[in-house]
């Protein structure tokens, strides 16, 4: 439980530890000696990378304190394959959203198109905080993260 106010037992800059095991970034060594640190305090020990493809790394990924191994900016997931777009339908899971993709299917017998849609479960990095249902999102394909999140 998090305590707000001046008498908080934990610093507010510490990453939220919500799992039973200690969460950390595997590429960052956290036990550097005090001599190696700057006089102002600790350096920002955070692994951040660019995913390429013309996408900028969000400021929350660089300066934030979240830990997410499935984040393409701070975790161990590479974006490869297709780049898709869709509309956010639901946001009821933790770090996962449902995206609705609409498309047209041609029926040869009637020489017309019919509307169809498909729902995709997509991982939402904590770097993107201001998304709401109904927003248009761009999705990068990666390896399967779970049974339904691909």
In order along its 150 residues, the chain shows pLDDT tens digits of 444 444 434 443 444 667 777 666 766 766 666 555 555 555 567 788 888 888 888 888 888 778 888 888 888 889 999 999 999 999 999 889 999 999 999 999 999 999 999 999 999 988 888 899 999 999 999 999 999 998
Strands 112-123, 136-140: pairing kind:
unpaired
pTM above 0.75, yes or no: no
Instruction: For residue 61, count CB atoms less than 10 angstroms from its CB and return exposed for 0-12, middle for 13-18, buried for 19 or more.
Output: buried
Q: Which residues of 86-117 are buried (b: 16+ CB within 10 A; e: fewer)?
A: bebbeeeeeebbbbeeeeeeeeeeeeeeeeee
């Amino acid at each position: 439980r998090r305590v707000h106010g001046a008498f908080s037992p934990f610093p507010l800059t510490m990453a939220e530890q919500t799992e039973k095991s200690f969460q950390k970034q595997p590429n960052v060594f956290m036990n550097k000696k005090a001599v190696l640190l700057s006089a102002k305090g600790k350096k920002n020990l955070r692994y951040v990378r660019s995913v390429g493809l013309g996408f900028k790394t969000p400021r929350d990924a660089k300066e934030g304190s979240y830990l997410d191994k499935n984040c393409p900016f701070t975790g161990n997931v590479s974006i490869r394959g297709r780049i898709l777009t869709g509309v956010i339908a639901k946001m009821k899971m933790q770090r996962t959203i449902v995206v609705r993709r609409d498309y047209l299917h041609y029926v040869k017998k009637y020489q017309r198109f019919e509307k169809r849609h498909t729902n995709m479960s997509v991982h939402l990095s904590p770097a993107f905080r201001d998304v709401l249902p109904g927003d248009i999102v761009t999705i990068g394909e990666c390896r399967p993260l779970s049974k339904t999140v691909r």
